Structure 1
Amino acid sequence: MKIFGAWDTEVQIRDPSLKKYISLSPVYLPHSGGRHEHRRFGKSRISIVERLINNVMRPGKNKGKKILAYNIVKMAFQIISAKTGENPIQVLVRAIENGAPREETTRIMYGGIVYYVAVDISPQRRVDLALRHIIEGARAAAFNNPKPIEEALAEEIMAAASADPKSFAVKRKEEIERIALSSR
């Protein structure tokens, strides 16, 4: 079974910590209907493509429009496939690996004094943040711009996959890790 009827899920995940949280289960239609919602770590069992589609439906212009989000991701995958000649799911997985921060800061309040401490990020949150930053970067690139969101999403995924510093996701990762480094 292939995703969107075109691409295999035979993909390699290089980061061993993310293997368990990037689901590459082959699905004909990436739409689970929220069956994972009330199970602990349930979202790690749904397809990574569906998680990308769900992130495209963030509040704003595309809120709640799953078919529109589905078509945006499908077109972006077609653009990625045409430009790189690779499996777009493999490119997406590489983008997630390169855009996922490893460390961030948390607030600790001790006797009325607040200070920030660097902490490691769980793999589940790393995937969530990477997907969120990829979508934010695509939305920012397409906002008030004649470039459609499909093209912006495809470019952001390709840039993050190649660890390009111009990618919004890679920039955010570097910024989060730099702040965490300074608060050690």
Structure 2
Amino acid sequence: MATEDMSISKIVVDLDDIKLFGKWSYRDVVVIDPSLKKYISLRPVIVPHTAGRHARKRFGKATVPIVERLINRLMRKAKNTGKKHLAYNIVKLAFDLIYIKTKENPLQVFVRAIENAAPREETTRIMYGGIVYHVAVDIAPMRRVDLALRHITEGAFNCSFRSAKPIEECLADEIIAAAAYDTRSYAIQRKEEIERIALSSR
């Protein structure tokens, strides 16, 4: 068959056709904080599972869908280690609960929670003449996202530990509280503590 007779058709996929977990649209989900826009990946995927393709790339974490990074953080605790399908189901149920409680797109609520829970300043140790000083420094945007995800998942685990409340509900409550900048949120408490220590070290 001659090559000129062959027609190449482009497949155009509408953004509304690709929904997280087959439910939540990526349309109109915005990152307000300009420093975090590059590091909160909202690339449309149905199933957030990239199988570690980013691992060998410099700053590859920034290209991983932000929901998958939350799922990966949930696998860090002893009970969930390596159980990605279990962590996936926890996040999926938590997003359903967020929608029931807020009537908003859970993806937008989660992005807002990360922006609110990401600390802007912390301290680092500097040794000068045998004496250790703690000096306040600005936090890199990627580390800000890492810390926010860590504190959100820690708050959810602390809430569900030795409690009748399931982890899905704890995670949903933690994300909603962080999105509303509620000081009862563990992630917000940790952010304010880190920034308060940094302020005193200036």
Which TM class, normalised by the smaller chain length? over 0.9
Following superposition, the deviation at residue 93 of structure 1 comes to: 0.3
1:61 aligned counterpart, secondary structure: helix
TM-score (norm 2): 0.90
> 2:71 is matched with which residue?
53
> 2:20 is matched with which residue?
3
Which ranges in structure 2 are unaligned for 5 or more consecutive residues?
1-17
Greater mean deviation of Cα atoms: 158-167 or 55-64: 55-64
> 2:30 is matched with which residue?
12
Q: Deviations over 1:120-155 (max 9, x none)?
A: 000000000000000000000000000000000000
Tell me the distance in 2 between the aligned counterparts of 1:133 and 1:39. 25
Q: RCO (CA 8 Å, sep 6+): is it higher in 1 or 2?
A: 1
- Whichever of the two has the greater Rg, that structure is 2
Q: Deviations over 1:85-114 (max 9, x none)?
A: 100000000000000000000000111110
> 2:52 is matched with which residue?
34
Regions of 4+ moved over 2 Å: none
Match of 2:182 among 141, 164, 184: 164
Match of 1:74 among 92, 116, 135: 92
Match of 1:139 among 157, 160, 163: 157
* Residues 1:63 and 2:84 aligned together: no
Alignment of 1:108-123 (within 5 A): 108-123=126-141
Following superposition, the deviation at residue 59 of structure 1 comes to: 2.9
Letter in 1 for 2:22: G
2:79 aligned counterpart, secondary structure: coil
Letter in 2 for 1:146: A
> 1:128 is matched with which residue?
146
Q: Kindly, what percent of the aligned residue pairs are identical? A: 69
> 2:8 is matched with which residue?
none
- Superposed CA RMSD: 0.5
> 2:43 is matched with which residue?
25
Tell me the distance in 2 between the aligned counterparts of 1:48 and 1:59. 19
1:125 aligned counterpart, secondary structure: helix
Which ranges in structure 1 are unaligned for 5 or more consecutive residues?
none
1:17 aligned counterpart, secondary structure: helix
TM-score (norm 1): 0.99
> 1:85 is matched with which residue?
103
Tell me the distance in 1 between the aligned counterparts of 2:19 and 2:46. 6
Letter in 1 for 2:45: V
Tell me the distance in 1 between the aligned counterparts of 2:56 and 2:76. 20
> 1:107 is matched with which residue?
125
Q: How many residues align?
A: 184
Tell me the distance in 1 between the aligned counterparts of 2:57 and 2:37. 19
